[in-house]
Amino acid sequence: MIEDPVLFEVISSSLVSCAREMTISLRRTAFSPNIKERRDCSCAIFDRTGNLVAQSKDIPVHLGAMPRSVKACIQDIGESLTEGRMALVNDPFRGGSHLPDITLVAPVFHEGDLVAFAANRAHHADVGGSSPGSMPGLSINIHEEGAVISPRIVVENSTLMREAIDDLLSATRTPRERLGDLSAQMAANNVGLKRLAEVAVAHGWETLLRSFEELRYYSRKRMHSALSKLGKLEASFTDYMESDGAGSRDIPLSARISVDDGMGYVDFTGSSMQVEGNINCPLASTLSAVYYVFIALFGRDIPTNEGCWSVLDVEVPQGSLLNPRYPAAVSAGNVETTQRIVDVILGAFAEVKPEIIPAASQGTMNNLSIGGTDHRTGTSFSFYETIGGGAGASKGTYGTSGIHSHMTNTLNTPIEALEMSYPLRVLKYAIRRNSGGRGGWTGGDGIVREIEILTDGCTISIQSERRQRHPWGVNGGEEAKTGNNSIVFHGKEHSLEAKSTVMGPSGTIVRIQTPGGGGWGPS
């Protein structure tokens, strides 16, 4: 089926570099520290039906979920998505994941025919809602989490139309930053369109479009052969979300996995029904977590595209925690619940194949948002970051300390960038020694981060997990220490819930200690 193997690889790599250049352009032109410094954004190329063709290796939780956004745009407004236009979407029930993740989709035309899409997703530091950062500790309805936007055209003649995003700009606390970031997203798609056209000129459109098919065929075949090597296996595992922020605790998440004849099956039947709080995880994000695990375990060197997951069959009951119905609150689902989905699938594999499975990593992203009015300028600000922790150890490998694991791979916010942009000061930023689980191979340590607030009346929101239930070890390895959130005011430390939203005056210190990773094998 693949006619010219060298050309195939050249084109395959060219498509990946298209996506990579999109990402570089996006962060080079972005305004918010979360995108320009932390690189909380992802870019990819899709075929004309919205299937993933090539991606830049950015943020796993974005990548596996983006095809659904592109497909929602095609379905809802495909006909009006003409040349020079781009569509925006963030609605978790229309192909989105959570509201801060805004996806911008650009169609690619060749001689009047739609041939592909370039799209990117970026996490905006504020899209409105009840608390700055749009990642509230406690929300029970999607509309408390910010502006909900179903697919709509926002770029016309390659120009961002402000009137098309009026609702977003009036909902957000930081409209200027949003415009800057949306322009950057437009830039990324522009660069994608330009580079894709260059690849087409170099090899011919026909060859390029045929390679889309070849890529999917190739990745499917390789994934299939990787799974075939496992033979037949079956296992199940249950882990828990410790809280939903609205009062429910120890919410079960169960997966039954099986591999047979080169095909993988994951069944989440038995997991909790959707909950009142915001840990509900939209289907796109759930699938994204499943795809991540299978690619990481069996297809690291396979080009990532739709072919990789065409060998997977995933069952997620409607109305469950992992496939919730409108108007469920979802803001923590995408960032926290997806980490647990990874744990559950890895946990199941560890029952039968412990030698290839790492112990649990920190199992949270430690989402921290701080917002209010900057007394120096009189303008609103909204700071958001996630904080790394310990990675789980594997057979033969110690877990790394202070690193982002599994579904995210953002960078830290440099202290100097953070303080230049916000009325905040970092007092401590250190490895949390001895927080990883002991074992034949020790898990990685978490991080201690202390941020002082320098302006009055700030809202602090935290979405975190693994504050009570420890990241587990594998094969006799010990569990890691749980994380810990608190605020310190006038020298007194006050403990905070894993999911909280609180107000604090100037001088409040937010202290986050992130969990370690589990150990592997007996000490």
- 140/509 with CB nearer other proteins: 509
Name all contacts of 322-325 with Cβ < 8 Å and 24+ positions apart. Answer: 322/253, 322/268, 322/271, 322/281, 322/283, 322/286, 323/281, 323/282, 323/283, 323/286, 324/274, 324/280, 324/281, 324/282, 325/93, 325/274
Q: How far is the CB of 15 from other proteins (least distance, A)?
A: 9
Residue that has been written with the tokens 């700071």 in this structure: 383
**Is the alpha carbon torsion for 50, 53, 56, 59 positive or negative?**
positive
In which region does residue 442 sit, left (phi positive, over 0), alpha (psi from -120 to 50) or beta (all else)? beta
Residue that has been written with the tokens 């916010």 in this structure: 413
Q: How far is the CB of 115 from other proteins (least distance, A)?
A: 19
**439-to-394, 405, 446, 461 alpha-carbon distances in Å:** 10, 19, 16, 34
- 277/358 with CB nearer other proteins: 358
Q: How does 347-383 read in b/e, with b if 16+ C-beta sit within 10 Å?
A: bbbbeeebeebbbbbbbbbbbbbbbbbbeeeeebbbb
- 274/405 with CB nearer other proteins: 405
Tokens of 132: 């700055």
Are residues 62 and 101 in contact, defined by beta-carbon separation less than 8 angstroms?
A: yes
Q: Which of 10, 209, 230, 488 binds other proteins (CB under 8 A)?
A: 10
- 46/398 with CB nearer other proteins: 398
Of 377, 343, 10, nearest to 177 (Cα)?
A: 377
**Binding to other proteins (CB under 8 A): which residues in 160-189?**
160, 176-177, 180, 183-184, 186-187
Say whether residue 59 binds other proteins (CB under 8 A). yes
Q: Which of 409, 435, 463, 464 binds other proteins (CB under 8 A)?
A: 409
- 11/279 with CB nearer other proteins: 11
Q: How far is the CB of 17 from other proteins (least distance, A)?
A: 5
Are residues 461 and 136 in contact, defined by beta-carbon separation less than 8 angstroms?
A: yes
- 2/160 with CB nearer other proteins: 160
Q: Which of 114, 164, 431, 502 binds other proteins (CB under 8 A)?
A: 431
Task: Name the one range near other proteins by CB under 8 A: 215-223, 263-271, 417-425, 474-482.
Answer: 417-425
According to DSSP, residue 320 is labeled B
Q: Which of 352, 417, 488, 502 binds other proteins (CB under 8 A)?
A: 417
**Binding to other proteins (CB under 8 A): which residues in 369-388?**
387-388
Beta strands in 291-411 (DSSP E): 312-315, 367-374, 379-385
Q: Which of 57, 162, 249, 494 binds other proteins (CB under 8 A)?
A: 57
Q: Which of 371, 402, 473, 504 binds other proteins (CB under 8 A)?
A: 402
**Binding to other proteins (CB under 8 A): which residues in 438-467?**
447, 450
User: Rounded to 5 degrees, what angle do the CA atoms 8, 14, 20 make?
Assistant: 140
- 268/441 with CB nearer other proteins: 441
Task: Name the one range near other proteins by CB under 8 A: 153-161, 217-225, 228-236, 470-478.
Answer: 153-161
What are residue 291's phi and psi, to 5 degrees? -60, -40
Task: Name the one range near other proteins by CB under 8 A: 215-223, 244-252, 423-431, 462-470.
Answer: 423-431
Say whether residue 305 binds other proteins (CB under 8 A). no
According to DSSP, residue 360 is labeled P
Say whether residue 419 binds other proteins (CB under 8 A). yes
- 292/384 with CB nearer other proteins: 292
Would you give the distance in Å from CA 43 to the centre of its chain? 12
Are residues 425 and 382 in contact, defined by beta-carbon separation less than 8 angstroms?
A: no
How far apart (Å, rounded) are the C-alpha atoms in residues 466 and 462?
Answer: 13
**Binding to other proteins (CB under 8 A): which residues in 18-47?**
18, 25, 27-31, 33, 36-37, 39
Say whether residue 210 binds other proteins (CB under 8 A). no
Say whether residue 401 binds other proteins (CB under 8 A). yes
Say whether residue 14 binds other proteins (CB under 8 A). yes
Q: How far is the CB of 169 from other proteins (least distance, A)?
A: 16
Are residues 274 and 328 in contact, defined by beta-carbon separation less than 8 angstroms?
A: yes
Task: Name the one range near other proteins by CB under 8 A: 87-95, 251-259, 291-299, 462-470.
Answer: 291-299
Q: Which of 130, 150, 158, 238 binds other proteins (CB under 8 A)?
A: 158
